[in-house]
Amino acid sequence: MTKADIIEKVYDKLGGYSKREAADLVEIVFETLKETLSRQEKVKISGFGNFVVREKKARMGRNPQTKQPIEITARRVLTFKPSQVLKHTLNG
Amino acid sequence: MTKSDLIEAVAQKSNLTKDKAASVVNQIFEQMVDAMKKGDRIEIRNFGNFTVRKYPAYTGRNPKTGDAVAVGPKKMPFFKVGLELKNRVDGKK
């Protein structure tokens, strides 16, 4: 499933929107999620899961090809924690 | 941000009523759940991909009592963040 499929479904199932409008709406939803997460704010979607930005400290790693030790810099990463409901749905 | 905050933000940006924005947001997440139920992979470019990973059965342990517990095979949703969002979250660009 791609974004185009989601747009198609919004267009089909909701009605009242042109394809262009459906595309704009889906875009607004994902753009809003991205903006929120870019501010390091967590997003909680009940029945789906939580998107959380986590701070990672710098640590030592090594280049697996050259075996040279290198520092992995401190960074922020996005993690997704699926909701219990979603986990149960997939295993129902 | 909760789902209702998201709905409110979408309503504002799109000039839709909150009810209509709610039906759009709910529809999107329902579609994604349905796709994962079918084992489908979801690709949202510049956001990320959702895949369903299958795990085999294993023998786990109750950490409190140390008793062996049989854990059946299971499916778990997995999210891999897309490049654009990954960079934005990390403050690059």
- CB atoms B10 and A37 under 8 Å: no
Q: What is the pLDDT of residue B93?
A: 62
Longest CA–CA span in chain A (Å) reads 59
pLDDT digits (tens, 9 = 90+) for B62-80: 999 989 999 999 999 999 9
Determine contact, residues A32/B47, Cβ cutoff 8 Å: no
Specify the residue for token string 């990320």: B48
Nearest by Cα to B32 from A23, A54, A82, A32: A82
Give the distance from residue A15's alpha carbon to the nearest chain B alpha carbon, in angstroms: 10
Q: Assess A81–B contact: CB distance below 8 Å, yes or no.
A: no
pLDDT digits (tens, 9 = 90+) for B11-48: 999 999 999 999 999 999 999 999 999 999 999 999 99
State the complex-level ipTM.
Answer: 0.90
Angle ∠(B23,B26,B30) on CA atoms, nearest 5:
130
